[in-house]
Structure 1
Amino acid sequence: MDITSTTEGATTTIELDGWLDTSTAPELAEAIGQLDDSCERLVLDFAKLQYISSAGLRVLVSAHKKMNGELMIKSVSPDVMTVLHMAGFDKRLNIS
């Protein structure tokens, strides 16, 4: 998986390309863990994310807690949205 991070003001956007699974979830967790306190809003861009496993879902829960709810997920493919919906994340997270 490729991870690209950009920051504009207090918003950091992380773009994911590939699969977010057991082997790649630690990479995303590390990228999120490295955000400094000036980051007030995190946007995860899933436009190129092809797959998400339960390990990826756990990273999303951790990110949501770290950002005190200021987490947005955008550009979700239908396949990934199905997983988020089945896990109930569409009711708890800001997904557009």
Structure 2
Amino acid sequence: MHELSASQQQGTLVLSVVGRVEAGNAPELEREVVAEIEKGSTSMVLDCSRLDYIASAGLRVLLVVAQRINDDGGRFAVAAVPHRIREILAISGFDQVIAVADSPEQAISGFN
């Protein structure tokens, strides 16, 4: 189960994901994030500071979102990723495709 909340910081949409992203709820997360993109969000940070677990289905969501935003000329990053999840991003090579920042503020600063 996951929760998603949104806020705006310096013109960037910051989505905070809480809980676990697994095969059963990854499609819901994808729908929620894609809905924000379709509303016109082209600068987005996914705050993972309260993310407990992410399965391969969740990693796929990150990739889909990053590609979609990048294709639209926007910017996407994940931020405040817990160490164990950051290791997964590194091992899988996702950190070569998706920007990873220590905090949402650092990600936003990198966009500007």
**TM-score when scaled to structure 1?**
0.90
Displacement of 1:15 after TM fit?
0.4
Deviates more, 1:7-16 or 1:53-62: 7-16
The aligned runs of 1:67-82 (5 Å cut-off) are 67-68=69-70, 70-82=75-87
Counterpart of 2:45 in structure 1: which amino acid?
Answer: V
Distance 2:14 2:44 in 1: 6
Give the alignment's Cα RMSD to 1 decimal.
1.5
Are 2:53 and 1:51 equivalent residues in the alignment?
yes
Displacement of 1:7 after TM fit?
3.2
Counterpart of 1:28 in structure 2: which amino acid?
Answer: L
Distance 1:90 1:43 in 2: 14
**For this pair of structures, how many residues does the alignment match?**
96
The answer on whether the counterparts of 2:17 and 2:48 sit within 8 Å (CA) in structure 1 is yes
**TM-score when scaled to structure 2?**
0.78
Distance 2:39 2:16 in 1: 20
Distance 1:49 1:74 in 2: 11
Distance 2:91 2:49 in 1: 19
Relative to structure 1, the CA distance from residue 37 to residue 4 in structure 2 (aligned partners, 3 Å threshold; closer, same or farther) is closer
Where do 5+ consecutive residues of structure 2 fail to align? Answer: 102-112
What percent identity do the matched residue pairs reach?
Answer: 27
**Hey, which bits of structure 1, 4+ residues long, moved more than 6 A?**
none
Where do 5+ consecutive residues of structure 1 fail to align? Answer: none
Displacement of 1:59 after TM fit?
0.3
Displacement of 1:37 after TM fit?
4.8
